Amino acid sequence: MTPAAHDDVPAVLAIDGGNSKTDLALVSAEGAVLVAMRGPGSGAPTADSLAPMVEQIAAAAGIHPGRPVAAHLSACLAGVDLPEQEEALAAAVAVRGWTASTRVLNDSFALLRSGIQRPWGVAVVCGAGMNCVGVAPDGRSARFLALGHSSGDWGGGLWLGNEIVGAAVRAEDGRGPATALSVLVARHFGRATAHEVSLAGHVGALGEEPFVSLTPLLFEAAREADPVAIALVERQADEVFLMARTVIDRLGLAGDVEVVLGGGILASGDPLLTVPVEMRLKEHSPSAVPRYPEIPPIAGAALLGLDHLGVPERAHARLRAAYSRPTRASMPTRASWG
């Protein structure tokens, strides 16, 4: 009998960890969300940083210390970017004895699974940064280093923020064309000029990574036909498509491949970005199906756990239904078993 078959232990302990927050859930083999809660984020997750949150969700579920928390741990975490890092963290977590089996992946895989209806496809993340992963029907996967400029990446909120301020400053000092971004950037930070904004950011007067908040201004200017803003949005659309196309080609995916478009910038659904991305996808892969996740990444992590355990499809449907209610993922719940 497998651990998942016991009535006294949840099937999956799911974790979706980002830089700003970590979501956890205990899920039954039938796809019921037994307990869900949220903890702090971590840029470089470790077994020690995860331990207090695991202990907290176990306590909320009434699981006594020292007992297994679930049959399988499915953790999808930001800051775990390379396969070697995934394996090392999985080994460190496994010795804690929380579950009988453990799998650790980059958080992009949670986005992928949350947006697709089957366990294979492609996902592009365009949020603070950029990433893309893909899984083939035979289990092969493809990914990028996603380390930023040094690994060939372009785009995401952090990158675009710097591009926006740079374009605004260049317009002011004469090196670049005039753009409405100069006024919008200065106004956003309560400064007289974009030059002052750039200087304030350089000396740390605007806080950590302040320019990531500027992306909405870019789309505002692009909607008003600002050429500089339009060029940046078009470049971002190109990069999203290029990542998806490359993974599709590397894995040899054909037919109605699902392409999940997620992360804060894509999830905003602005047609200035999504329409050109979808058009390029259709030109390259006419049967490709763009997807925008309707459930959060924590549900994707849980679905990956259910995949691992080989539970019936109805459990997947039940889990999706639970997370389609917006408050469920972030509201702690209680249930008892055993």
pLDDT of residue 337: 33
Write the CB contacts of 260 (distance below 8 Å, at least 6 apart in sequence). Answer: 111, 112, 114, 115, 116, 121, 122, 123, 124, 291, 292, 293
Query: What does the DSSP 8-state code read for residue 44?
Result: S
User: What pTM was computed for the model?
Assistant: 0.86
CA–CA distance, 26 with 54 (Å, rounded to integer):
10
Nearest to 144 by CA among 108, 119, 103: 108
Task: List pLDDT tens digits, range 280-338.
Answer: 999 999 999 999 999 999 999 999 999 999 999 999 999 999 998 654 434 444 433 32
Structure tokens at 22: 């970590």
CA–CA distance, 76 with 206 (Å, rounded to integer):
31
- The mean pLDDT of 73-96, rounded to a whole number, is 95
pLDDT of residue 332: 41
Contact present, 168 and 180 (Cβ < 8 Å): no
Name the percent of the chain lying above pLDDT 70.
94
Indicate the average pLDDT of the chain.
Answer: 92
By DSSP bridging, strand 21-27 and strand 289-291 are unpaired
